[in-house]
Structure 1
Amino acid sequence: MLTSVDADIIRALADPLRMRVVSLLAHETLCTTHLVEETGARQTNLSNHLRVLREAGLVETEPCGRYTYYRLCPEALESLSGALGDLAATARATVAADTKRACS
């Protein structure tokens, strides 16, 4: 069953720039400067998107001098993946059983 946490993650991933950031962070830990260079986004815009990703539990921060590094939290994606997998399995079983609710 999908939870409110899963819904927050889905909302966070629904934005193309945030999805791009998540894809980049899947490959390596990056600082804001790297993410600005990779995405072409303005720093203030990127910071707002990173806040959303942090609040959804998708990324963690690591201060390093005057820079902040971001890393992806794979557990958040695995949790969502499991919930979506369960939903797909339920739908598959429903289709196979040809379950229909009668109209009244």
Structure 2
Amino acid sequence: MTGQSGPTRILRKNIGDLSIPQEIAESLCSYGGLDGLSSSLPSDALLRQMRDWYQACADPVRLKILCLLVVHPLCVCVIKALTGIADSKLSYHLGILKKNGLVGSEQQGNYIIYRLTPAGRTFLEQELERCAAFPGGEGAGPG
């Protein structure tokens, strides 16, 4: 005898056309089955919006801009000084953030002032909080 036991037996249960492990089936029942679980999903429109926000945040420069704007609305010249990138690249990154509804801008004399939109602020603050909860997360917000 080699000390090995046979394969673990998994109890299965049928739900509709699916044959799934009994433990999962029982857990699904607490959510109202497949229909209940499905109805708890965000709408397709919200999932697309989330995808767009994550794509907009997928660049470290854009993340840095968002972290600056979470502190205070800023003019382009301050954002440029703090990020150290060329005007054309800064314009590109700000355009992506604006197109995806994370930032807004307003003209004040010769200056364009950028600020987080309410949706952008909520999204960024939640993501910073979520990241701070991971090991190695700084927990102190931007920076």
Query: What letter corresponds to residue 72 of structure 1 in structure 2?
Result: L
Matched residue of 2:53: which SS?
Answer: helix
Aligned residues: 83
Unaligned runs of 5+ in 2: 1-41, 131-143
RMSD: 2.1
Match of 2:67 among 23, 37, 62: 23
Question: 2 CA distance for matches of 1:19 and 1:7?
Answer: 15
CA displacement 1:36-88 (0-9 Å, x = unmatched) = 1000011110000000000010001010111100001232353685xxx9xxx
Which structure is richer in relative contact order (CA contacts within 8 A, separation 6 or more)?
Answer: 1
Unaligned runs of 5+ in 1: 86-104
TM-score, normalised relative to structure 2: 0.53
* Match of residue 32 from structure 1: 76
Matched residue of 1:62: which SS?
Answer: strand
* Structure number with larger C-alpha Rg: 2
TM-score, normalised relative to structure 1: 0.72
Question: 2 CA distance for matches of 1:77 and 1:16?
Answer: 17
- Structure 1 stretches of at least 4 aligned residues deviating more than 6 Å after TM superposition: none
